[in-house]
Amino acid sequence: MQLSIENVSKRYPHGNWALRNFTLQLGPGVLGLLGPNGAGKTTLMCILATITRATEGRISWNGSDLAVHPDHLRSTLGYLPQDFGVYPNLNAVEFLEYLAAVKGLDASSSKYRIDELLNLVNLADVRKRPLGGYSGGMKQRIGIAQALLNDPQLLIVDEPTAGLDPEERVRFRNLLSELSGERIVILSTHIVSDVEATATDIALISQGTLLAHASPEELLRKVEGRVWEWIVPSTELNAARQRYLISNAARRSDGVHARVLAETPPNGAHAVTPNLEDAYLYCLSRYRAGAAKSGTLEFEAAAAGVAK
């Protein structure tokens, strides 16, 4: 089982590029696709779900070109989009029966599958309640149930925990981990803790560009020796933020304990163990610094050309 994304770019009619030369090779496990809002994650998910086509590049599923043979993937695809809607007057069973019919699943086998899934997502006790009365977390769980109706080999979930309370978020993370097994799960999110709890490998994306693809351990090694705890007075915190990248700040009786990402420590700071948020912010900051420098060089080169 393999999903291959080769030099994929997507340009929208107004001229903006949502993806640029995106390349990724995936096998079974949970991929955390992590990036800020507007990074291109949802665009990539829509291309993988065969909702839209790439402008350039190639995507293949088990060797089959997705642009030529989209049905080869659709029959084994499960997708939970970011904006998942329900029919509020249908109950859970009616809703899943309807979607099973839309997916072309056999009615008799679907009945057993629906019972199985409602138990899996812990909604069996409210199976006859209209979906309009479900909480946000319950709707997300019915969303994952519909994505699993055809027992997919590729499961895509886009920002699945947005708006959920902490308890629902933990439940959803555990469910995704249980579902991985012998399938590819792509979790697209901007919430680092969701990825940290579930992903077997991580792809960092910003402005449509792949910044890194590695295991959590590899990403953490990249930021070893670059994370410091620095105690500063509250009155000096804003000035410290101007000088350093601060990923977190906690107020204590002796001052503000600032978590600083830097190549060399501020005076009086000591090294601390990095976490995945540190690695994420470090990669983003290096990319943005490089992009800003590149933009400056391009501007200077253009200005020199004009001067000539």
User: Looking at 2-6, 196-200, 223-227, 290-294, which range is the least confident one?
Assistant: 290-294
Residue pair 180/200 in contact (Cβ under 8 Å)? The answer is yes
pLDDT score of 304 more than 80? no
Q: What is the Cα–Cα distance from 164 to 152, expressed in whole angstroms? A: 25
Mean pLDDT of the chain: 89
The residues that bridge with 65 in the sheet, in sequence order, are: 60
Q: For each of the domains in the chain, give its residue range(s) and CATH number, in order of start.
A: 3-214 (3.40.50.300), 221-307 (no CATH)
What percentage of the chain reaches a pLDDT higher than 90?
69
Kindly report, residue by residue over 128-154, the tens digit of the pLDDT. 999 999 988 889 889 989 999 999 999
- For residue 47, give Cα distances in angstroms to 40, 84, 149, 156, 256: 11, 17, 21, 11, 45
pLDDT at 293: 61
Q: What is the mean pLDDT of residues 289-300?
A: 54
pLDDT score of 287 more than 60? yes
Q: What is the Cα–Cα distance from 261 to 225, expressed in whole angstroms? A: 9
pLDDT score of 220 more than 80? yes
User: Closest Cα to residue 273, out of 206, 227, 216?
Assistant: 227
What percentage of the chain reaches a pLDDT higher than 70?
94
pLDDT score of 50 more than 50? yes
Confidence category of residue 206, pLDDT binned at 50, 70, 90 = very high
Confidence category of residue 184, pLDDT binned at 50, 70, 90 = very high
Confidence category of residue 167, pLDDT binned at 50, 70, 90 = confident
Q: What is the Cα–Cα distance from 124 to 108, expressed in whole angstroms? A: 19
pLDDT score of 297 more than 50? no
Residue pair 233/293 in contact (Cβ under 8 Å)? The answer is no
Confidence category of residue 294, pLDDT binned at 50, 70, 90 = low
Quick check: pTM over 0.75? yes
Q: Which segments of the chain are extended strands (E)? A: 3-11, 17-26, 29-34, 56-61, 64-65, 77-80, 154-158, 184-189, 201-206, 209-214, 227-232, 245-252, 255-261, 270-271
106 DSSP assignment: -
| Per-residue tokens: 27 | 């096998």
- For residue 93, give Cα distances in angstroms to 101, 125, 137: 12, 11, 17
Stronger pLDDT, 302 or 216, i.e. the higher one: 216
User: Looking at 63-77, 101-115, 156-170, which range is the least confident one?
Assistant: 156-170
Q: What is the Cα–Cα distance from 144 to 84, expressed in whole angstroms? A: 10
Confidence category of residue 299, pLDDT binned at 50, 70, 90 = very low
pLDDT at 307: 37
Residue pair 258/170 in contact (Cβ under 8 Å)? The answer is no
pLDDT score of 211 more than 80? yes
| Per-residue tokens: 200 | 């077997």
Kindly report, residue by residue over 249-278, the tens digit of the pLDDT. 999 999 999 999 999 999 999 999 999 999
pLDDT score of 16 more than 70? yes
Count of Cβ atoms closer than 10 Å to residue 6 Cβ: 15
Q: What is the Cα–Cα distance from 45 to 234, expressed in whole angstroms? A: 43
| Per-residue tokens: 197 | 């709890």
Q: What is the Cα–Cα distance from 255 to 249, expressed in whole angstroms? A: 10
pLDDT at 135: 87
- For residue 133, give Cα distances in angstroms to 123, 127, 167: 13, 12, 19
